[in-house]
């Protein structure tokens, strides 16, 4: 008898767990009606910010996103990418600033903890609401890089080789523009951001 009770409990638990996944599907279906197929807000992963808050990408819905993938111990290209991001930020039209978020995603989630990202943000004067630093997991970062077509590889315990790409997403999370390479003119990227933010 006790065994049966246990089994019943087990089944109820299983039923509950399968129910919850059904409702999850239902809610993601309703998101789907609003969001285009190519939206990054379909990505299910959870991230930690530099303020140690847990977010999903879809929490960012409604803003224009400017994203780049870096790692904080990087000596070569990242400082230039970070400089590019700051340059872009400084040229966003004053009244549009609230519509735009600048996001740096770490490709080294093991090293780049929220604390470390916070310190990096402070060091680089990027410590306000407009800037967001994200720590994921090995798998979620790989997945996100795949959405951006960013390539990266760990080449030593300290260093990664990676693509230098800055990506711009519209309010619904669809990729609208990519700037490839270092030291390229940011003009086109800035124009796109201002255009999207102005429409929003």
Partner 1 sequence: MKGIGPLLLMICFFLCTQKKAFSQSMVKIEGGSYIPLYGRDSAKIIVRDFLMDVYPVTNEAFLSFVKEYPTWQKDKVRRLFADDNYLNDWESPISPGEKISLKAPVTNISWFAAKYYCECQDKRLPTIDEWEYVAMADETKKDARKDSTYNQKILEWYETPRTHKKEIGNTFKNYWGVYDMHGLVWEWTFDFNSVLISGASRKDMDNDRNLFCGSAAIGANDLMNYAAFMRYAFRGSIKANFAVKNLGFRCVKDIQDPSKNNSSNHKID
Structure tokens at 124: 């680089």
> If binding is defined by CB under 8 A, does position 127 make contact with partner 1?
no
Considering only residues 145, 190, 193, 197, which one is a binding residue for partner 1 as defined by CB under 8 A? 145
CA distance 189 to 164: 14
Min separation Cβ 108 and partner 1, Å: 13
What number of other Cβ atoms are within 10 A of residue 105's Cβ? 23
Question: CA angle at residue 76 from 71 to 81, to 5 degrees?
Answer: 65
> If binding is defined by CB under 8 A, does position 172 make contact with partner 1?
no
Min separation Cβ 59 and partner 1, Å: 17
Q: Which is nearer to partner 1, 20 or 161 (CB)?
A: 161
Q: Which is nearer to partner 1, 1 or 94 (CB)?
A: 1
Helix (H, G, I), strand (E, B) or coil at 178: strand
What is the dihedral sign for C-alpha 39, 52, 69, 183? positive
> If binding is defined by CB under 8 A, does position 27 make contact with partner 1?
no
Considering only residues 122, 146, 198, 199, which one is a binding residue for partner 1 as defined by CB under 8 A? 146
């Amino acid at each position: 008898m006790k065994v049966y009770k246990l089994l019943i409990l087990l089944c109820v638990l299983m039923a509950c767990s399968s129910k919850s996944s059904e409702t999850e599907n239902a809610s993601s279906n309703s998101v789907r009606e609003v969001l285009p197929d190519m939206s990054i807000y379909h990505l299910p992963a959870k991230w930690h910010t530099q303020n140690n808050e847990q977010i999903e990408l879809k929490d960012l819905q409604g803003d224009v996103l400017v994203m780049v993938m870096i790692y904080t111990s990087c000596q070569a290209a990242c400082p230039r990418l970070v400089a590019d991001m700051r340059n872009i930020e400084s040229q966003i039209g004053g009244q549009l600033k609230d519509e735009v978020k600048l996001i740096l995603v770490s490709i080294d989630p093991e090293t780049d903890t929220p604390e470390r990202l916070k310190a990096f943000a402070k060091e680089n004067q990027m410590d306000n609401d407009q800037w967001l630093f994200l720590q994921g997991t090995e798998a979620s970062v790989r997945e996100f890089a795949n959405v951006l077509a960013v390539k990266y590889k760990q080449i030593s315990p300290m260093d990664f080789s990676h693509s230098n790409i800055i990506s711009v997403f519209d309010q619904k999370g669809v990729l609208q523009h990519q700037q490839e390479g270092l030291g390229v003119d940011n003009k086109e990227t800035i124009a796109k951001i201002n255009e999207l933010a102005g429409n929003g």
